[in-house]
Structure formats: structure tokens, C-alpha cells
Structure 1
Amino acid sequence: MKYKFTFAFLLSLGLAVSCSDDDVVTTTVEPEVEYTSGSADFSTYVALGNSLTAGYADAALSIQGQEDSYPNLVAQRFQLAGGGDFSQPLMSDNLGGATFSGVQILDNRLILSFATGSPLPVNISGSPSTEITSTLSGAFNNMGVPGSKVFHLGVEGYGNVAGVPTGMANPYFARFASSASASVIGDAMAQSPTFFSLWIGNNDILSYAISGGVGVDQTGNYDPSTYGSNDITDPAVFASVYNGLLQTLTSGGAKGVVANVPDITTIPYFTTVPYNPVPLDATTAAQLNYGFTSYNQGLQLMFSYGLISEEEVAQRTITFSEGSSNALLIVDEDLTDLSSYGIPNYRQTTSEDLVVFTAQTIIGTTVNNDATMVNGVSVPLADQWVLTPQEQTAVATAQASFNATIEGLAAQYGLAFVDAEEVLQQLANGGISVNGSVMTNTYATGGAFSLDGIHPSARGYAYLSNVFIEEINTTYGSNLPSINPLDYTALYLE
């Protein structure tokens, strides 16, 4: 009998083994890989950022989400090349909700329920055991704080409800801040990090976008203490604060990786609900058109007065028809104000409008149980339910400025740079192939996003971890192995 032992390193050793000419048995032994950190030092890794860093998913923060967070997955690879322990301020359970002095203030996470026969995202039942006032002790490597904007990271007392300006106190940071007067960056630097990741800036435009543009574009206002929670951060403020964060983080010689801000209008939160979801029979369509006759005639009168253009008349004219694809009726504050003439700022949505995910809870519902008063049909949707083209432009302009700052400073400080913007564009334009499977930005079935339509799924976070690892390897000469995203779930079911 002939035996042949084949090793992955056989040729390099110049060895060959053979016996007789009978059966052949082949055995493969993989060589042990020696992982290296290259020019980086992973011994003390600290991750700073917002919900994307914390592991937020399915509209909540849970233990499972934190364990699947990209920093935790990256830290596991760091440990192969000298990385130390990675501590996280874990929630108390997997429900994701939280209480403040016994009163629930944060909702439980979403799961996909089939209780009604049709799949619907619902909050998982149960009483959460995470109490915000029960503070955690110790230093934590994952300093991701859901809801934080770039200028929040340096706010002293950011977790102290009574000690900071209105709207800036954060219950997540309250749980693990080292003191009532602590700042996120201060607690991070207290650990003397040798390596850091910084992914911040999403909320500086996201809160404005998901509110349907209810907030204010604060470009030109350099005092963030005056900002509302849904406002867009001034680009100059963003650049100054971001540079200050990197100055602080690198002051002790630490190396790191930063990521830019993706195009948030490509996420399922803005791409799931169509602009024209209204089904009407011929009778109802005719009744609606009759009801808007005086409004449409008023627009023609305003045109004859020279107050609005012919193009705006066409934009504002309300028309319904028999079929399943009627556009929604909305209020658009960017239209010419004709209120002094008794004409409201009404129009119907177009394919350029983005209807927010949560609008599906109100579209088609009635006002005071009056069947003639239907939201989105005979009653216009308020500004909060639609991100208009003008509002999208404000978001895109700020994002472009933020990203130019991030990429420029990454080069200035010699840091690894992750192009998260490119990742989301790939998801939105054909998807990303992952070991024979394809991830897209399609809600629930695309695999990349969780049920809140904003944050990645566990599988999405695993893929992002690989993007971070790849850029770290390229920049610092490390050889950290990648992760198989298919080992992580894309969707949590009831």
C-alpha cells in the first residue's frame, strides 16, 4: 500500500514521502500562522463613536448586539496579534429596553413577528432589567454611545441629566461614565490607548433626516450648545471638534482607524415606503379630485397674479386617479408661502421624495375616526414623515463636508481610513457578495440591516469588521484574518 502525506509547506522543506503502489491516502496539515500587528500596537484598544460603535441594532442596544459590534469583533482579531482584553458596558439583558428609576424610558428591541400572519417588526415582550441609575464600574474599551454627535464626545457631564444643556444628556453614557462630570473622550484617554477607532458623524445629519427635516441646518452657527437634537451640525464646528479629538487620541503615540459618514438616504429607513402607496377606486378618486378643485383653482389664480411660476402650479396641483399607485398628500414648507391668500403649502409626493420608514404607521389612518379624513390622502402628512429634495440637499452638503474633513485628517495623522460611504453605495447598487451570498439594502430580506432600517444586522456588522480589518492591515502592515459574515444572523425572528 502506498501512503502519501501532503503538507502545505512540503515544497519549501524539499521533502517527499512515498511507499508502494496501492491505495493513496492524502492528509493536509495547515501551517500555524503567526499573526502580527505590524507597526501598530493593539495592546489597549479603545473604540469611540455612536450607536454604530456600540452595536445598536433592531432599535435597541442589547447584550447580543454588543457582542456582535464591530469593535468587539475587531478586538477578537487584535488578540491574535498582541491585543488585550476588550471590555464593554454590557446591558443587563437581551431585551434592549431600559428603565430610569423604575420607569421604562427605552423601548425593547424589534423582532420579526408572524403573529398576525404577515411578518411585522414588533418590540419583543418582557420587562427590561437594565436600570440607567445602576451605574457600572471599571474602564470600558467600547466607548460607543448611541445618539452621540461629534461635539458630544468632549462634553463634561454628558451622562449627567441635570448637568448639561437641554438635549445633551445621554442615558447610555450615564451607565458607564467614570463620574457625573466625565466626558467620553476623557474616559477613553484615561486608559492610555495604544490603538483606537473613531466612527462619528452619522448622527450629525441622521437625526435631521429621520425627523423628516424637522430640525435646523445650523451651518453658520458655531455654538453647538444652542443646537436642537434634530439639527445638522455646522461643518466648521465638525472639522474643529474632529481635529481636536484626533489630536487628543494621538497625543500619546496611539495609532488608529477612522471611518467616514455614509449616504444615509440609501438605508432601508428611507427606501422601504414608496412615495405612491395609495390605492383608490374610481369613485373615491373622483370625490377627492372634487374636494381639491378650489385648491387647484386657487393655484391658477396665484399664477395669474405672478406670485408663483407655472412649474410650481404643476408641482402643487393635487390629482388622484383610480389604481394602486397614488402619491401621498404632504405639507412642504419650502413651497412659496401663500397662506395670506388662504392657500396651504400642499403638494403630492414624487419619486424624488423619501418617505420615512415610520410613516407606514400613519399613512391611511383616519383622524378622529372620520372616514373622510385619511392621513396622506385627504389630510396631508406633516413635515416629519417625508424628507424632501431640498432637505436631502442639506443632508448631502453636510455629509460631503464632513467626509472631506475625515479623509483629510486621516491622511494628516497617518491613520487607516474606512470608506463606509462606498460600502453603503455598494449595498444600494446591486449588493455585496459574501461567500456566495449577496447582501443588499433591502429591508428585512437584504441581510445587511437590522429591523430598525438604520443600523446593521449582526451580519452587517461582521462585514464592516472585515472592512476595518482590511484597512488596518493595509495601513499598518498587520495580517489579521477576516471574519465570515455568514456565521452571524441577518434577522431575529419571534
Structure 2
Amino acid sequence: MKNIRYILLSAIFIGFTACNSEEDFEDLLDNPTIPVELPTLTPGTVDFSTYIAVGASFTGGFTDNALFIAGQQNSFPNLLSEKFALVGGGSFTQPLMNDNIGGFVLGSTVILSPRLYFDGSGPAELPATPTTEITDILSGPFNNYGITGAKSFHLGVPGYGTLNPYFGRMASTPAATIIGDAAAQNPTFFTLSEIGGNDVLAYALSGGTGVDQTGNLDATSYANNDLTDPNVFAASFSASVDALTANGAKGVVANLPYITSLAHFTTVPHNPLDPSNPAFGPQIPLLNSIFGALNPIFNAVDPDRAIVFSETEASAVVIKDENLTDISTIIIEALSASPTFPAFIAQFGLPPQAAPLVANLLGNTYGQTRQATEADLLVLPSSSLIGTINEDYAAALELQGLSATLAAQFAAEGITLPLEDKWVLIPSEQTAIKTVTDAYNVTIASIASNKGLAFVDFNAILAEASTTGYPSGNFILTTDLVTGGLVSLDGVHLTSRGYAVMANEMLKAIDMTYGSNFEASGNLIVPGNYPTNFPPSLQ
């Protein structure tokens, strides 16, 4: 059980050919395309001369778990600026990274890791060293204020650049605020997108280990995993819109998707333990013997806690569910009182005197455990953890008197050692995420309506992509990892093709609200012209 690897990701490359026969060409000659005269592009009532983008990582072009030049060039704001330039839009300056590697260095120390690439079986970290120095300050002003990691209430925090290097490297002064620097450019048009995404994302990525908070910023809250109170979000979002529209600027805002539908939360199955795996299958009889001593106790308290591994079908991992009543004491007392328990531990080569030790071990380990169900979501990094031996836990067991072999047997992640809360989003945590996301989206839609802003229902678009797929030209884009085309290798952020889709939806919303005609004039972006991943040679 040292390493149970169960996810094999592969890309499917399909070659398209056309007109492969004389008949194909004859069909084309018999059915010529009728030319259609498109209307001239018009900006409607919008002045695009100074376009400012405000947001978080999506706005910045973050993809494959990093910010890098190629991703920034394909950010949806940069793609929009190219279209705006056709109707009077001005230059669009971005705080570009130093390379296509991604990540930050502080001197010779790597502070943030390089981007991911597809190695033929799944996402892998680029074997290269970043060259972007975290302390380097760029000269502005800039048009793209897409700040990776920024939560809604961070936009107006003075000195936020001292906490977040993505803003620190482009802030006008050490005391500057994101929204202050953006508004100082006197935008005539703006996009405000994915504000609120990080307010739930940190909680979700951590497996729901945070708690609600009020939005007060201190030295630790930049990295905390809490859900932002909807009232704090509403005040922050409203203040940002007020700042951007102070001089009469028009704009487009987008709401938030249910992030639990993204690949980071849907790729790892709840039941990855395959009995045909030689590292797991032979262990099943012993495992069922171990849990056979506990299942009568589980059944007496709650039958849903019983743990059984199948010898014919894939089994679910064992997780800790903090919502369960802790029955550690019940387990310890029941095992200690059992006259057969000393005989049970003898199969592990342990003397009867070890019974109290093992009873305490089992009680403290399985007091809040159960096997996962389809309703649970395992975060993507758990794929490399399940089945491995937790060396620290095994060492602690050895200190308590267990042999190295036995300690390892009780330290297999997701099998004998329940997965910690940070690796799993249980249903109650998913509900918490959905509840605040819905609250944020009500605020976004209301403010957009009150201010007369264009509005993109990004929530509905991602919902479509995660179910039936999103039609885009010759492609059907989904949220599947690697093969879906929409979500990048980190399972959360979009691919360049995904950002092109996002830009198109904004152009359509601008047309509808302000009377422009990007779509009718044939000036939408062609998402198929943009990549879904980047080769490792791009550095």
C-alpha cells in the first residue's frame, strides 16, 4: 500500500481532414457558399478609449497553476482590448511576468512554483526555475488589475501589495489599493469579473477547513481559508463599482460559477481503491479483519460508518467527517471490555498487554470516520496521496510501541488512516460554498441592474459546460481535466481557449446592453484559435 496510483490521464488527439476525395470537391462546386455582407462594426454607446480590467486570477490570465507571459497575452481582457481597438480602444498594458515558466524567486530561492504542463499521463510541474524576481517593481500605469489571490474586500485595502506580490510588483505606491490604482486611470470602460471567487476558493481548495469571518485584514488573513460574509462582499463589491463608475464609465460584470463543478473537485473518484491493484488487492482480507472488529460498534451507533472493502469492485476511501459525533470513547471502552480483543490483536504479533494501546489507537483514529460516498468531493491533490504511507504518523505509532511494519499498515492514507478534512469537501461544506456563492451572485446581479451595467451569467455557462458541454465552433468544451478544453491543468482556472469563450460572452453582453454589434458584424473571437495547454519547451 506504499503508493496506490489510480488516475491515468491521457490526451486524445484527433486529426481532422477535409475534401479527401474528388466527390468532396464536386460537392463544394455544386453548393457554393453564398457571401453574406455583414454590418460595419459600431461601438454603440460605449467609449472604449480607456479600458481597465479589475478582477482576480481569471482576469490576469492565470492558467495551469501559474501566471506567465503566454497566459497573460491570452487573458480575456487582453483579447477584449484587441476587439475594442477596432472601435477606438486605446493601448492595453499588462504587468507581464518575466518568462513563460511562471512562479516567483527571491534571489536564488523559489517562492512560487512553475506552471504545470501535460506530461502524457497528467499534469506535472515544469522542470524549470522561475526568473521573475518577487521584489522587482514594474513601472505603470497598467490596464489589467487582475490580481491572483485577491478577495473582494482586498480591493480596497491600503498596502495590500505588501501581502500579495502580484499586486506589490505593480502597485503605484506601497500604500496603494487595487481599486484606487484602477480608478486612477479614469476608465471609460471596465470589466469587473470573478470578484468573490477567491472568497470561496480558498475554503474549497482547503477541503472546507475555514470558518466564516468578517473581512478584517491582518497579517494572516491573506492566506486564510475562510468564507467571506455575504454582507462584507456586498459592501466591497458595491464600493468597487462605485469607484469605477464615478466618472460615468460603462462596464460589464460577471457572476461566479459553482466552483465545485470544476475539475479540481470532480476528477478524483470517491472510490479509487481497485482490488486488481497489486498494492491494494492482497491487503483486503487483512483490512476487513481489522475493520471487522470495529464494524459491530459502528453498526450499533450508525450503520453508515461501517467500513468494508470489496474484493470484486472498487472501494471508497476512508475519510474523517467532522460532522459525525466523536465516538472515540465508545470505541475504546467497547474494545477494552471485549474478551476476544486480546486474541484479535495477537494476529498482529502483539501480546495481550498491548490491548489498551491498540484500543486507544483504534478509538482515536476512527472516532469520526466513514467511507466516502458519491456526495463527497475529493480535491485534486489527493490523487497523489491516497494509498501512500504517512511517514510522520507511522513514526508516531512506532514510538507508541508498534513495529515498523505494523505502524505502516495503520498509516496508509485513505485506507487505514482516514483522509483529513483538507482533502475532502463533504456535503455540508459544499452547501456552505453554494449558499455564499448564491448570495454573492444576487448582489452582483442587483448592482449590475441598478447601475445599468452589462452582465454575464458565468454561473450558467460553467453549469452548461459541466453537464452537457459548451458548444464553441467545432468543439464541445467541458470542465473535464486535460481533455475538456475549458479548464486548465490546475483544475480551477481556464485555458486560453476558455478565456476566449469568456471574452466572447462579454462581447455579447456589451452588444445587448450598449448597442454595439461585435457579434452581428462577425467580430467575435474564434476560441479554436487559442491553445488548451502549452508545451514544456515554452519557457
TM-score (ref. length: structure 1): 0.87
How do 1:88-167 residues align onto structure 2 when only pairs under 5 Å count? 88-114=94-120, 119-160=121-162
- The answer to whether residue 238 in structure 2 is matched with residue 243 in structure 1 is yes
Other-structure match for 2:382: 359
Contact 2:299–2:305 (CA under 8 A) maintained in structure 1: no
Looking at structure 2, the residues matched to 346 and 28 of structure 1 have their Cα atoms a distance apart, in angstroms, of 66
Other-structure match for 2:360: none
1:54-78: CA deviations, max 9, x gaps?
A: 0000000000000000000011111
Task: Kindly provide the amino acid, as one letter, of the partner of residue 513 in structure 2.
Answer: T
Looking at structure 2, the residues matched to 144 and 324 of structure 1 have their Cα atoms a distance apart, in angstroms, of 46
How do 1:89-488 residues align onto structure 2 when only pairs under 5 Å count? 89-114=95-120, 119-160=121-162, 169-199=163-193, 200-218=195-213, 221=214, 223=216, 225=218, 227=221, 229-280=224-275, 284-301=283-300, 303=301, 313-341=302-330, 342=332, 343=363, 344-368=367-391, 370=405, 372=409, 373-480=411-518, 481-488=523-530
Q: Secondary structure at the match of 2:81?
A: helix
* One of 61, 84, 92 as aligned partner of 1:86: 92
Looking at structure 1, the residues matched to 282 and 37 of structure 2 have their Cα atoms a distance apart, in angstroms, of 75
Distance 1:280 1:416, change over 3 A: same
For structure 1, list consecutive stretches of 5 or more residues without a partner in the other structure: 1-25, 161-168, 304-312
Q: Secondary structure at the match of 1:467?
A: helix
Shift of 1:27: 11
Contact 1:102–1:131 (CA under 8 A) maintained in structure 2: no
Contact 1:427–1:441 (CA under 8 A) maintained in structure 2: yes
Greater mean deviation of Cα atoms: 274-283 or 151-160: 274-283
Shift of 1:233: 0.2
Structure whose residues are more often strand by fraction? 1
Contact 1:222–1:236 (CA under 8 A) maintained in structure 2: no
Other-structure match for 2:531: 489
Structure whose residues are more often helix by fraction? 2
Q: Secondary structure at the match of 1:257?
A: strand
Contact 2:454–2:513 (CA under 8 A) maintained in structure 1: yes
Task: Kindly provide the amino acid, as one letter, of the partner of residue 470 in structure 1.
Answer: K
- The answer to whether residue 53 in structure 2 is matched with residue 39 in structure 1 is no
Q: Secondary structure at the match of 2:314?
A: strand
Shift of 1:100: 2.2
Looking at structure 2, the residues matched to 293 and 213 of structure 1 have their Cα atoms a distance apart, in angstroms, of 31
Looking at structure 1, the residues matched to 161 and 390 of structure 2 have their Cα atoms a distance apart, in angstroms, of 39
- The answer to whether residue 72 in structure 2 is matched with residue 66 in structure 1 is yes
Contact 2:212–2:227 (CA under 8 A) maintained in structure 1: yes
Contact 1:45–1:75 (CA under 8 A) maintained in structure 2: yes
Looking at structure 2, the residues matched to 248 and 111 of structure 1 have their Cα atoms a distance apart, in angstroms, of 39
Q: Secondary structure at the match of 1:151?
A: helix
Q: Secondary structure at the match of 1:330?
A: strand
Looking at structure 2, the residues matched to 367 and 143 of structure 1 have their Cα atoms a distance apart, in angstroms, of 41
Shift of 1:437: 1.5
Shift of 1:33: 5.4
Contact 1:277–1:324 (CA under 8 A) maintained in structure 2: no
Looking at structure 2, the residues matched to 454 and 283 of structure 1 have their Cα atoms a distance apart, in angstroms, of 36
Looking at structure 1, the residues matched to 245 and 53 of structure 2 have their Cα atoms a distance apart, in angstroms, of 13
Shift of 1:338: 2.3
Task: Kindly provide the amino acid, as one letter, of the partner of residue 69 in structure 1.
Answer: S
Shift of 1:120: 2.5
Looking at structure 1, the residues matched to 250 and 108 of structure 2 have their Cα atoms a distance apart, in angstroms, of 42
Shift of 1:339: 3.3
Q: Secondary structure at the match of 2:49?
A: coil
Looking at structure 2, the residues matched to 367 and 243 of structure 1 have their Cα atoms a distance apart, in angstroms, of 46
Q: Secondary structure at the match of 1:95?
A: coil
Higher relative contact order, structure no. (Cα contacts within 8 Å, ≥ 6 residues apart): 2
Distance 1:257 1:331, change over 3 A: same
Shift of 1:283: 5.0
Other-structure match for 2:62: 56
Looking at structure 1, the residues matched to 503 and 327 of structure 2 have their Cα atoms a distance apart, in angstroms, of 52
1:320-371: CA deviations, max 9, x gaps?
A: 1103410000111111122343441011100000011110110111233855
Looking at structure 1, the residues matched to 186 and 311 of structure 2 have their Cα atoms a distance apart, in angstroms, of 66
Looking at structure 2, the residues matched to 348 and 31 of structure 1 have their Cα atoms a distance apart, in angstroms, of 62
Q: How many residues align?
A: 446
* % identical aligned pairs: 45
Looking at structure 1, the residues matched to 436 and 34 of structure 2 have their Cα atoms a distance apart, in angstroms, of 54
For structure 2, list consecutive stretches of 5 or more residues without a partner in the other structure: 1-31, 333-362, 395-404
Looking at structure 2, the residues matched to 76 and 414 of structure 1 have their Cα atoms a distance apart, in angstroms, of 24
* One of 67, 77, 83 as aligned partner of 2:83: 77
Contact 1:217–1:394 (CA under 8 A) maintained in structure 2: no
TM-score (ref. length: structure 2): 0.80
Q: Secondary structure at the match of 2:169?
A: helix
Task: Kindly provide the amino acid, as one letter, of the partner of residue 68 in structure 1.
Answer: N
Task: Kindly provide the amino acid, as one letter, of the partner of residue 509 in structure 2.
Answer: E
Task: Kindly provide the amino acid, as one letter, of the partner of residue 78 in structure 1.
Answer: F
Distance 1:49 1:296, change over 3 A: same
Looking at structure 2, the residues matched to 469 and 289 of structure 1 have their Cα atoms a distance apart, in angstroms, of 58
Task: Kindly provide the amino acid, as one letter, of the partner of residue 271 in structure 1.
Answer: T
Looking at structure 2, the residues matched to 185 and 38 of structure 1 have their Cα atoms a distance apart, in angstroms, of 27
Shift of 1:123: 1.4
